[in-house]
Every structure is written in C-alpha cells, then in structure tokens.
Structure 1
Amino acid sequence: MPSMSKNDYQLALKAAGAFMHESERFLVISHVNPDGDTTSSVLACALLLEQLGKTYVIVNEGETPAKFGYLPRFSHIRNLQKDEVAERFSHVIAIDAADSKRMGNVRYLFNDDARILNIDHHPTNDEFGNVNVIRTDAAAAAEIMYELAVANDFTLNPELAVCFYTGLLTDTGGFRYSNTSPNVLKIASELLQYGLKPGELAERCLEETTLEHMLLLRRSLQSLAITHRKQVASLKVTREDLQTTGASSEDAGGFVNHCRNIEGVEVGVSFFETEAGHVKVSLRSRSRVDVAEIAKQLGGGGHARAAGCTLTVSIDEAERVVYGKLREALGVDSDE
C-alpha cells in the first residue's frame, strides 16, 4: 500500500493521540518473534500512556530477546506462553504488526467490541485497526512513535529517547540499510541530546553475541546452499541443531544476513525449524527481488528487502516451496 500523504499522516497521528485518551486501560501488543524495533516501540508506547496517567498490559506471544533488557519497562512485557492474562480489553494498541495474524494468538484478550489502534510501517499491512497510522516509508515503527509523541505534545525524556533510538538503530542495521533516510538521522541526532551513548547501544544491539549463537552459526553454515545460478544463498537451522549446541531460538537471529551478504547473491534465505512441522522463513534481498511479495504469498509479510513467514511443513518442504517462489521471481531454476 502507498504511504499516507503528509496531511493525512499528521491527522492519523492526532487520531492516535486521541485514541490514547479514550480509555483508562490499554492492551499493548507487538508482533510474534519480536525484534528491537517492535520491543522498543511498545515500551515507548507504555511510557507515553504513563504520561497520560493511563494503565496498560504489554503482551507478546513468546519470549522477548533478553538483550533488550536495558530498555525501560522491559520487565512489564508478559509472555503469553508462560503467563496467563485473565483480563479482557476494550482498547488495544498494536505496533509493528504487518497484519492481524502477526499479532499472534492474542484476540481472546479483546472484548467483542474492542477498538484497535494499528501503528505500523509495513507495506503489507491490511489496515485492521479502527484507527490506522501506517507510514510505509518509515524506517522503523519507532520513527512513527517518535512522530506521534511530537505531534501530540508528549514530553521527550531520556527513557523515551533510548526506546526511539534503539528502534531506529536496529531496523536500519546501525544506520547502514537503504531505509536510513535524512529524517532518521535527524531524529537520531535529536535523541542523542538526551545523554544516550551510541557506542554502547550499538555494541549491545548489533555487535555482542552469545557463545551459543556462534556454535549454532558454525553448525548451520554446513547446510549453506548456493542455488539459482548463484543468485540465492540459504541455510537451515533444525531442532537438532539447537539441542546439540544448547542454543535458544533467540540465538538463531540474523543468520539470513550471512547469506545475503555473499558477493553476487541477490536473495538470502534462512529456514529455522521452530518446532516439528513449523518453519520460520526469513528472506533478505539486495536490490531486485521484492521478498515482501513472496512472503505475502506464503502467509507472511514485511518489506521489499526484508520479509518473512512461517510455514507448517517440514524444513525440506519449506525449502522446496520457497525455492519455487524464487524461481518465479528470478526466472531461474534452483538447480541451474
């Protein structure tokens, strides 16, 4: 979907601010398999609600990466796989969820007449909210959250600054990806005035890793395959790989980038067997292939250069299906 006009976007930001005044209590949710942007954005939302004197519950279907534990209110995030929430909510704020399915199994927490504020930057967003703030040319959900705060006269402070900066930092790959716009750098510059330490944040978010991550990467690289006339590089991570290395799901993050970064490769793919018969597929492209379109065809979503989906098949069948979609996109068979 195209991005909003500047005027419509400002109206949507104001409508989002009005939504945050409608109730005294809110459910705040992100997407499954949360990353730095969605985590920092929901926590920024919590801080904004606090400024209004509102209360909230933050939930996610699954574990939130521990490396973002430095963010304010991180301990407030509840993992629905471990922590039952008996309450039902009339007002829901969904952030960085490309479509309603990306919220996971959380709808049982909604009242039948629940109103939803949908804040997102994915082109594949299906506008599932009663109020939608969608800016597809934003580098990160955190960029929109910052602009929401400014448009509605919230008070910026060091806690909000570290959330906004973390979201920008992680979704632009340390301000290296093509989504690093002048606006992103302008906002980052303004946030640094709140005493942030960019070197330390970059170290924690982008550089530091675990031994288990390295052991898992070493093992999974043995599955590296170069296909489609050397235009596709892929690797697999199985449940056996996790068990052998003692790694967690979090330790498998970022593997797809090693594939895409190979010279001459257009599309990088990682296949991660999260459980028997369930495979998380991550796709990254260099310049020509719209991987969001491929992911959308397979029930997922994302951006033109970074997208993903989850397939309920074996890992070998997932490879066959994705390879078939890449054959259509590239005009080249996997075995050529």
Structure 2
Amino acid sequence: MDQTQAFKKMLDDRSLETVLILPHNMPDGDTLGACIGLYHLITQYNKKGYIVLNDDIPSNLSFLFEGDLKCCKSDEVTNVNFDICIAVDAGETKLFEDRIALFKSGKHTVCIDHHKTNTRYAEINIIDVEASSTGEIIYLLTETFGGTLNKHSGEGLYAAIVTDTGSFRYSNTRPITFKICEKLVETGFDFNRLNVEIFQTKSYEKLLLLNKVFDTLKLYCDGKCAVVKLSKHLVDNLALAEYDTDGIVEFVRDIKGVEVVVFIRYLNDGAHKVSMRSKYNFDVSEVALLFNGGGHTKAAGFKSVDSIEEIEVKLVDAISKAL
C-alpha cells in the first residue's frame, strides 16, 4: 500500500485515539510549523494530539504558540499511552533522541520529512525530497485527505515554508510552493505580524552575538569555504544563558565567492553542532554523512563531541577534497 494511503487508513481507524507529534531538537520554523499543521489535521479525525518538545522554542517563533495549542515536555505525558507516534522533519532518530522512548512506545510510528538522507526508521515513512519543506508536505496531505485549514494551521504551515525556503530565495522553492502559500495566506492569519515576528525582532543580544561570531570568520579553499564559530569561551564571555544563532550561516553565505559555509556552534552539553550551507552545486549532505550527519544538498549538519579546532580541521580537509 502507498505510504500516504497507509497513513490515511491509520487516521481513519477510530480505535487509534492518541497521537504523539515530535518536532526535532533545536527546533526551527519548519518542524514547528509543520507540527501545528499536522496537529490540526489529526483533530479532524477526532484524535487527541500532543506536541512534545523538551527544548525551548526560539523567541522569533514563540508567537505560533500563543493560543490554546502548547508544546508539552516529556514528563508531562508520562501517563499517556500513544497509539500513533509521528516524527516531523527529522531525518534520523537521534534528532529527537531525548524522546526516542516515547516514539517507540506507540502502537504505530510515522515519519514525515523531506530530507534526502532520511533513514526511513518508522513503520510508515512519507518522504518527499522534492518538497520545499515538511510544512509543504503537511499541506499536501491535508489537501489529499480532504481536510480543512484555519488561521492557526495556515499560519504554522506558512511559517514552515517561508523559513525553510529562506523567504523563497533557496532552490528548494518550486512553482507549487507559491500556489500553496497563496492558499495559506487566504486562511486570514496576520501576515504582517508573522513577518515582523520571524524576521524583524532581533534582540540587542543577538546582534552583539552576530558581531562576535563574524569576528571568527576564516576563509579557506581560495575563498570558496567560509568557517565561523561560536565557542564555549565566547558564550561564557558574553554571559549568554541562551543564544539565538538562526541566520548566521545565511549571512556568511552572502559573501561573494563563498560556495560553502560552515558554522560550528558550542552546545551546553559540551558537544558541538555543525551547520553547513552551499550556494551553487556543492552537496553538503555528502560531507555531513562522513560525520554521521545528514540533511539536504544545500543545507546539512551533524553533531560532534570533538573539539572545535578538530572539527574545523577535519571539515576543511573534507570540503577541500570535495570541491
């Protein structure tokens, strides 16, 4: 049976009542917005949904959860027996490893995603690598299943698409993406507020952080590879309890001549998160796979326990060989 139809059959099954919806760790606009759209879809099948996330929601996306819909922590759903567990925008289980036991506890598991490196770890895997975003996939599922949209789901799905396409600047934007966004805007959400909240509410602390991170910029491979870093030392010196790094790699990618950008970010658990972006034809997902990561052709990453200096050396070597 087709995976989409298998999912529809699962939703039609009235004996399956509770649904766990999992965004990935360090959530972005796509995973959060897609979860909101999915939540509204499953409620149309009279199912009780729970969006479970232990990480904080980025400040520029918190407005998406100002209404009745909230994210729960894992310890808030310990007494819930889940019938269907759905991972959203997560190409591999380690992207929600803090909630993997919850995911596996369900009677059925589903993965909805658009990453080319997806490992197809669920019972049902709805993977569309041509889609601009997972939000776009949720919209198409809603349309295919004859579901409806409201202002909240329209807002969430639009946020998912506009953030993952870089405001429609990235090559994952396709003609149908614009048609879908037209339908989403027609739901009547506050379009101006969404754009202000997501793109025009940078704090002074973030601007200070951006300035310090840009000071670490190094160019390699005759200027084709740029590396920026956020070290523990820098975080401590800036006295940052929390830090918002969204958009840093995009800023650096705008440098003329740069084809590949690497951003190495210290995490509070002592490890480092590496984000990579490319501008033209370089496939950063292939590099990420070398470090047990994954992603898209032009946006990929991985997590490493190596030092920031070791990561930089190894990555620059791998990228230089691939260029």
Say whether the 8 Å CA contact 1:68–1:74 is kept in structure 2: no
Deviations 1:200-243 (A, max 9, x none): 32222123211111111111111110111111111110223223
Matches within 5 A, 1:1-336: 11-22=2-13, 23-72=16-65, 76-80=70-74, 83=75, 85-87=77-79, 88-110=81-103, 114-275=107-268, 277-330=270-323
Give me the CA root mean square deviation: 2.0
> Structure 2 CA distance, aligned partners of 1:219 and 1:173?
23
> Structure 2 CA distance, aligned partners of 1:137 and 1:49?
24
Identity of aligned residues (%): 31
Say whether the 8 Å CA contact 2:86–2:103 is kept in structure 1: no
Say whether the 8 Å CA contact 2:60–2:199 is kept in structure 1: no
Call closer, same or farther: CA 1:249–1:189 in 2, change over 3 Å. same
Q: Give structure 2 stretches of 5+ with no counterpart.
A: none
> Structure 1 CA distance, aligned partners of 2:207 and 2:168?
24
Deviations 1:156-177 (A, max 9, x none): 2212111111111111111111
Call closer, same or farther: CA 1:276–1:38 in 2, change over 3 Å. closer
Deviations 1:114-166 (A, max 9, x none): 32111000000111111111110000000000011111111222121111111
Q: How many angstroms does 1:90 deviate by?
A: 3.8
Say whether the 8 Å CA contact 1:162–1:196 is kept in structure 2: yes
> Structure 2 CA distance, aligned partners of 1:170 and 1:112?
31
Q: TM-score, normalised by structure 2?
A: 0.92
Say whether the 8 Å CA contact 1:48–1:149 is kept in structure 2: yes
Deviations 1:97-125 (A, max 9, x none): 01222222212224557321110000001
Q: How many angstroms does 1:75 deviate by?
A: 5.4
> Structure 1 CA distance, aligned partners of 2:110 and 2:164?
22
Q: Give structure 1 stretches of 5+ with no counterpart.
A: 1-7, 331-336
> Structure 2 CA distance, aligned partners of 1:137 and 1:312?
32
> Structure 2 CA distance, aligned partners of 1:43 and 1:222?
37
Call closer, same or farther: CA 1:112–1:41 in 2, change over 3 Å. closer
Q: How many angstroms does 1:253 deviate by?
A: 1.9
Q: AA paired with 2:227?
A: S
Q: AA paired with 1:115?
A: H
